[in-house]
Amino acid sequence: MDLHELPPRRLLVVGLLAILPLAWYGLEGSLTAGVVSAVNVLLILTCLYVAFSPVEGHEEHGTNGAAS
């Protein structure tokens, strides 16, 4: 399986792995900073997930995406 074959929305789930070091940082260092950082990561991943969602009523035209 090649990474180029997977849809971008599925690859964004890999971004959730960023929570693991943040949890370690929050438990070992500042809990408040860890929580704020985790919320930021979740917000960024949510925005990217929505940005890569398919658009209703959008049809691809040709190879360059220009409508004719």
Q: 22-35 b/e with 16+ CB inside 10 Å = b?
A: beeebeeeeeeebe
pLDDT of residue 43: 93
pTM: 0.64
Encode pLDDT of 37-46 as tens digits.
889 988 998 8
CA 50 to CA 8: how far, in whole Å?
A: 11
Phi, psi angle pair for 13, to nearest 5°: -65, -30
CB 58 within 8 A of CB 67: no
